[in-house]
Amino acid sequence: MAGPHGSRKKLSKNLLQMKFMQRSTVKSEKEQNEQERQRVIDDEHWVLDIPELQQRESRFQLEPSYVPCENLRFGRMSFMGFNPEIEKIMRLHDTQQALESAEEREREIGVSETEMTHRYESLVGTIAKKFSKKRHRSSANDEENSGTKKKSKKQFLKPDDD
């Protein structure tokens, strides 16, 4: 009970020890404990204790527009000098698209330097074998085989005279 001085009077010790007062304090303490327990449960309830999953690379590609999916041309169009600025942008866009498609075609059709050297080396060896004489061919084959596999002649071993 607030007085004019702002101080609050306390209940007497005998009044607090009465049965109905003890029940009310126990009841209020139980409510506080239950609220705290509920708050802790709510805080822990929505938290998972598992490590975060690493995001895999998506198999799908998201496009904000359907233009690339449909292979549509440049968005704004102008014909016969109606809007010269747009026609200029259209020409630049078309030349850029043509260059990109030509480069892509070249990459698909072209042969890389390493592939070309490998082909050339095998071709040189094949042609050299074709034009070599039979004697040289057989000796070259023997040299190749001797380098990779050693064939030993079987010989008769004499027994020791002990």
Looking at the chain, how many residues does it have?
162
Task: Give the pLDDT score at 3.
Answer: 52
Task: Give the pLDDT score at 111.
Answer: 76
For the chain, 162 residues long, give each residue's pLDDT as a single digit of tens. 455 555 678 888 887 788 888 888 889 999 999 999 988 877 766 666 677 767 777 888 888 887 777 777 777 788 888 888 989 988 998 899 899 999 998 888 877 788 888 888 888 878 877 777 766 666 666 665 555 555 567 787 888 886
Q: Distance between CA atoms of 118 and 122, rounded to whole angstroms?
A: 6
**pTM, 2 dp:** 0.31
Task: Give the pLDDT score at 1.
Answer: 46
> Residue 28 half-sphere exposure, CB side, CA atoms within 13 Å?
6
Task: Give the pLDDT score at 139.
Answer: 66
How open is the CA angle 95-99-103, to the nearest 5 degrees?
Answer: 170
